[in-house]
Structure 1
Amino acid sequence: MSPKRAPSAPPELPGYDYVSLLGSGGFADVFLYQQQLPSRHVAVKVLLPDAVNRELIDNFRHEANVMAQLSTHPSIVTIYGAAVAPDGRPFLAMEYCSRPNLGVRYRRERFAVPEVLSLGVQIAGAVETAHRAGILHRDIKPANILVTAYNRPALTDFGIATSSGGTDDASGMSIPWSPPEAFLDPPRSSPASDVFSLAATLSTLLAGRTPFEMPGGSNTSVDLIDRIQRGELSPLARSDVPARLEAVLAAAMDPDPGRRHASAMAFGRALQQVEAEMALPVTPLDVLDDGLDAEEVAEEDGGATRIRGVVSIDPHAGEAPPSAMPAAVAAVPDATVRRPRPAAQAQAAAPGAPAAPAQPEQPRSRRRTAVGIAAGVAVLALGGGIAALALAGGGGAPPSANPSQTVAAPPLAQRPPAPIAVEGEVSGGTVTFTWTNAQPQEGDTFLYRYEPSVGDPTSSSTSAPQVVVDADPDGETCILVRLVRSDGRDSNDAEGCVDG
Structure 2
Amino acid sequence: MSPKRAPSAPPALPGYDYVSLLGSGGFADVFLYQQLLPSRKVAVKVLLPDTVNRQLIENFRHEANVMAQLSTHPSIVTIYGAAVAPDGRPFLAMEYCPKPNLGVRYRRDRFSVPEVLALGVQIAGAVETAHRAGILHRDIKPANILVTAYNRPALTDFGIATSGGAEDDASGMSIPWSPPEAFLEPPGSTPASDVFSLAATLFTLLAGRTPFELPGGSNTSVDLIDRIQRGEIAPLARHDVPQRLEAVLASAMDPEPSRRHQSAMAFGRALQQVEAEMALPVTPLDVLDDSLEPEEVDEEDGGATRIRGVVSIDPHAGEAPLQQAVGGMAAAPDATIRRAPAAPAQPAPAPQAAPEQPRSKRKTVFAIVGAAVVALLGFGIVWLALTAGDEPAPQANPSQSVAPPAAPQRPAAPINVSGVVDGDSVTFTWVNPQPQGGDAFQYRYERSDADPVTAQTATESVTLERDPDGESCILVRLVRDDGRSSNDMEGCARG
Which amino acid in the other structure matches residue 186 of structure 1?
P
- The correspondence for 2:350, drawn from 412, 434, 442, is 412
Does the alignment pair 1:114 with 2:114? yes
Does the alignment pair 1:72 with 2:72? yes
CA contact (8 A) 1:136 1:161 kept: no
In structure 1, the gaps of 5 or more residues are: 301-305, 316-330, 342-403, 419-434, 448-459, 465-485, 490-500
The 3-state SS of whatever aligns with 1:267 is helix
Does the alignment pair 1:21 with 2:21? yes
The 3-state SS of whatever aligns with 2:227 is helix
The 3-state SS of whatever aligns with 2:29 is strand
Which amino acid in the other structure matches residue 70 of structure 1?
L
Which amino acid in the other structure matches residue 349 of structure 2?
P
CA distance in 1, matches of 2:2, 2:82: 24
- For residue 259 of structure 2, what is the aligned residue in structure 1? 259
Q: How has the CA–CA distance of structure 1 residues 307 and 281 changed in structure 2, closer, same or farther, with 3 Å as cutoff?
A: closer
CA distance in 2, matches of 1:296, 1:245: 33
Q: How has the CA–CA distance of structure 1 residues 91 and 463 changed in structure 2, closer, same or farther, with 3 Å as cutoff?
A: closer
Deviations 1:332-372 (CA, angstroms, capped at 9, x unpaired): 8512212379xxxxxxxxxxxxxxxxxxxxxxxxxxxxxxx
- For residue 145 of structure 2, what is the aligned residue in structure 1? 145
Does the alignment pair 1:285 with 2:223? no
CA contact (8 A) 2:288 2:308 kept: no
Q: How has the CA–CA distance of structure 1 residues 49 and 258 changed in structure 2, closer, same or farther, with 3 Å as cutoff?
A: same
- For residue 470 of structure 2, what is the aligned residue in structure 1? none
Does the alignment pair 1:240 with 2:178? no
TM-score, L = length of structure 1: 0.64
Deviations 1:245-301 (CA, angstroms, capped at 9, x unpaired): 00000000111111111200010000011011111111110001234589996999x
Which amino acid in the other structure matches residue 99 of structure 1?
K
CA contact (8 A) 2:127 2:137 kept: yes
Does the alignment pair 1:124 with 2:124? yes
CA contact (8 A) 1:199 1:249 kept: yes
CA distance in 2, matches of 1:487, 1:313: 36
Which amino acid in the other structure matches residue 289 of structure 1?
D
Which amino acid in the other structure matches residue 410 of structure 1?
A
The 3-state SS of whatever aligns with 2:94 is strand
CA distance in 1, matches of 2:239, 2:259: 27
CA distance in 1, matches of 2:299, 2:400: 25
Alignment of 1:38-117 (within 5 A): 38-54=38-54, 56-117=56-117
After TM superposition, give the deviation of residue 412 of structure 1 in Å. Answer: 2.4
CA contact (8 A) 1:126 1:155 kept: yes
Q: How has the CA–CA distance of structure 1 residues 255 and 87 changed in structure 2, closer, same or farther, with 3 Å as cutoff?
A: same
CA distance in 2, matches of 1:295, 1:335: 41
After TM superposition, give the deviation of residue 223 of structure 1 in Å. Answer: 0.8
Which amino acid in the other structure matches residue 245 of structure 1?
L
> Is the radius of gyration larger for structure 1 or structure 2?
2
Q: How has the CA–CA distance of structure 1 residues 86 and 246 changed in structure 2, closer, same or farther, with 3 Å as cutoff?
A: same
- For residue 380 of structure 2, what is the aligned residue in structure 1? none
The 3-state SS of whatever aligns with 1:246 is helix
CA contact (8 A) 1:133 1:311 kept: no
CA contact (8 A) 2:28 2:161 kept: no
Does the alignment pair 1:338 with 2:338? yes
CA contact (8 A) 2:159 2:172 kept: no
Q: How has the CA–CA distance of structure 1 residues 59 and 221 changed in structure 2, closer, same or farther, with 3 Å as cutoff?
A: farther
In structure 2, the gaps of 5 or more residues are: 301-306, 317-330, 359-394, 411-480, 485-495
The 3-state SS of whatever aligns with 1:92 is strand
CA contact (8 A) 1:252 1:261 kept: yes
Deviations 1:282-339 (CA, angstroms, capped at 9, x unpaired): 1110001234589996999xxxxx9744648889xxxxxxxxxxxxxxx985122123
CA distance in 2, matches of 1:105, 1:13: 32
